[in-house]
Chains A and B, each alone.
Chain A
């Protein structure tokens, strides 16, 4: 124990460790019946760290390229010791991370945690959600199997529908007119360099803002606590909340391990660009609500192409979603009810369309 104490002192003398964690010791977390929603952001962060670690391990064996990618993933799954575990955890963790990111966003929305002064936290969070979906889209192609190949083909085709910039953007993403080995190389670059770089910076900004501004309290409670400060209940961030968060991370780790061991991620069949697309091909579940919506829009709406209209509408909705806090009232006693109504509708729409898309042929 004295060795640990000495090491701690040694580090403190050089890093001024105590000063560094002093704000964390002072930091508190509001305690109320909805406090458990605060864990979702931390779980998403934990899953991101898992992604980075397992991603680095996968990089040791993965080879990007139309002739090697599938075989290298197959090698990881069959020959590399614990390769199956690393890849399965990477894939399951990716999906869980997208799920917890969505859940975190809706919890923030329902608890109205995006209000002033946390507008930038919301904006950075929504951009992170888009980035996470970008991770999913780019990573899905990397095993170069049939489903991934055609899902990418369809996905990039939809990008091509955007007026003016769509076609050049599609060619940029694909590295040519068609989905080829060049697309795989690009997606690999986006997945392991571009997106992680931007995401890390944004996560740091997001965390800094959370630490600076503290945890938000639901408006009703905020009004009550302002009127009666003695009713205010808090918990120390360190170690009380951190230990609870740690418990949540352990639960997430257990869930990941169980999913990976019981349902190892499927490898599929190697992509063959010369065969026709499998019938009823669908994107990953987190794109399903958009895909199904685009399918339901008529080919022509007035004089505009239905798909173009859908893509433009989603672009506009995404932008408005990003700017949502700026439509909220500054006064916590008079929150905008229509935003909560919109959040309920958005959640019901995303869930409903995803289920419909999953069941539709």
Chain B
């Protein structure tokens, strides 16, 4: 029996261990399952009071461990609505719109608090908001202007890096457009409501939304986000220069800068417009419908002559590149090895791009330097293409002669075979 008991001992020990494990697991599960009576009721309520567990679980605050009470107060552990939503328990109810910036700022302006979650997150949003047009009007009592939740949403607020976030770069324009493209809503503000329509047709939108280039600008890139405001006429080039540095350097030293400042004209915007910026073309220097110079300058004046010279230079280089390209393409399709000249074409195109950038200096001598460099490369490429075509023809003539020689040998052999076999 003793032997049998000893043999059974491990089974008994395993049974007790299993029971203990089950109790521990149940305890752990019970501990993790904190009561949230807010969601129990609000998940069943219709909008705007409805907040489901699924929706709230997407919220960055919920993911960081904050709950309904963090903003609304109350006692979520109580199933009794009167107790859960009692003023005694600190319940604030629906947050008054006027209180929203201050409420968000109570945490987001506290570096010590924010550091616990994301040490690199800025804490100047409220301060910036107060300097923005939105913030100033809000302080003046206009509650129609945007507050935090209008842009960031509420209860399902996501980090800006999340592509589904309303403030992700790809979605910012749509978020701004919800108010700024609504003519009825914007009535009384005396600002246009076509910015979004124009932006949607712009080269910037094309780059950001179509090509997915996150470095391309959206509304907040030029206007700021929390401190959103128009850049101001005399500061436009500072905004554009954040990306278009070379153009800005050229423009800074140009005669146009002084002239535009004197006439209170908004720098870059004068030629390129603001929200609806299209891909610039050489036609800007022309006299057609897309011409920009002739909006201010008179036909025949010194500037008009310089404009014509610049356009002529750019067109010459563009044509030279196209001519070389055409010959190289034919040579390549004939199987000729012209990869070096092809590489040279990229250099010629770079010179053309550089010349187009140098236009912002409005100096013909500087533009001409780039044009001449490009023309030299394009001429070399054209020559390489022509030589390849000469070589191709030489090969074909050589082939023809060889085939004739082979045919003669074949005929000779045939005759010889006939002779020896006859």
A residues at B contact (CB < 8 Å): 74, 77-78, 84-85, 239-240, 243-244, 246-247, 250-251, 253-254, 257-258, 261-264, 266-267
Q: By the criterion CB–CB under 8 Å, are A267 and B337 in contact?
A: yes
Hey, which chain A residues are within 8 Å of B410, CB to CB? Answer: 247, 250-251
Hey, which chain B residues are within 8 Å of A250, CB to CB? Answer: 406, 409-410, 413
Q: Which residue of B lies closest to A266 (CB)?
A: B335
Q: In the complex the two chains form, what is the Cα distance from A85 to B396 in whole Å? A: 12
Q: Which residue of A lies closest to B409 (CB)?
A: A250
Contact with A along B399-411 (1 / 0, CB 8 A): 1001100110110
Hey, which chain B residues are within 8 Å of A263, CB to CB? Answer: 335
Q: By the criterion CB–CB under 8 Å, are B421 and A258 in contact?
A: no
Which of B336, B337, B399 contacts A258, CB < 8 Å? Answer: B399
Q: In the complex the two chains form, what is the Cα distance from A85 to B399 in whole Å? A: 11
Q: In the complex the two chains form, what is the Cα distance from A254 to B395 in whole Å? A: 14
Q: In the complex the two chains form, what is the Cα distance from A247 to B413 in whole Å? A: 7
Q: In the complex the two chains form, what is the Cα distance from A243 to B406 in whole Å? A: 14
Hey, which chain A residues are within 8 Å of B413, CB to CB? Answer: 243, 246-247, 250
Q: By the criterion CB–CB under 8 Å, are A243 and B340 in contact?
A: no
Shortest beta-carbon distance from A195 to chain B in Å: 27
Shortest beta-carbon distance from A29 to chain B in Å: 13
Show 21 A/B contacts (Cβ-Cβ < 8 Å), sorted by A. Answer: A74-B339, A78-B340, A84-B337, A84-B395, A85-B395, A240-B417, A240-B420, A243-B416, A243-B417, A244-B417, A246-B413, A247-B413, A250-B410, A251-B406, A254-B406, A254-B407, A257-B402, A262-B335, A262-B396, A262-B399, A266-B335
Contact with A along B327-350 (1 / 0, CB 8 A): 000000001110110000000000
Hey, which chain A residues are within 8 Å of B398, CB to CB? Answer: 261
Q: In the complex the two chains form, what is the Cα distance from A301 to B335 in whole Å? A: 45
Hey, which chain B residues are within 8 Å of A77, CB to CB? Answer: 337
Q: Quick one: which of B336, B398, B406, B416 has the most chain A CB within 10 A?
A: B406
Shortest beta-carbon distance from A233 to chain B in Å: 13
Q: By the criterion CB–CB under 8 Å, are A257 and B403 in contact?
A: yes
Query: What total of chain B residues lie within 8 Å of the partner, measured CB to CB?
Result: 21
Hey, which chain B residues are within 8 Å of A262, CB to CB? Answer: 335, 396, 399
Chain B residues 374-411 with CB under 8 Å of chain A are: 395-396, 398-399, 402-403, 406-407, 409-410
Q: Which residue of B lies closest to A264 (CB)?
A: B335
Q: In the complex the two chains form, what is the Cα distance from A264 to B392 in whole Å? A: 10
Shortest beta-carbon distance from A52 to chain B in Å: 21
With contacts A240-B420, A263-B335 taken as known, whether A254 is within 8 angstroms of B402 at the C-beta atoms is yes
Q: In the complex the two chains form, what is the Cα distance from A243 to B416 in whole Å? A: 9
Shortest beta-carbon distance from B410 to chain A in Å: 5
Shortest beta-carbon distance from B393 to chain A in Å: 11
Hey, which chain A residues are within 8 Å of B402, CB to CB? Answer: 254, 257
Q: By the criterion CB–CB under 8 Å, are B406 and A78 in contact?
A: no
Q: Which residue of A lies closest to B335 (CB)?
A: A264
Shortest beta-carbon distance from B240 to chain A in Å: 34
Q: By the criterion CB–CB under 8 Å, are B416 and A78 in contact?
A: no
Interface residue? B414 (CB, 8 A): yes
Shortest beta-carbon distance from A74 to chain B in Å: 7
Which of A240, A251, A261 contacts B421, CB < 8 Å? Answer: A240
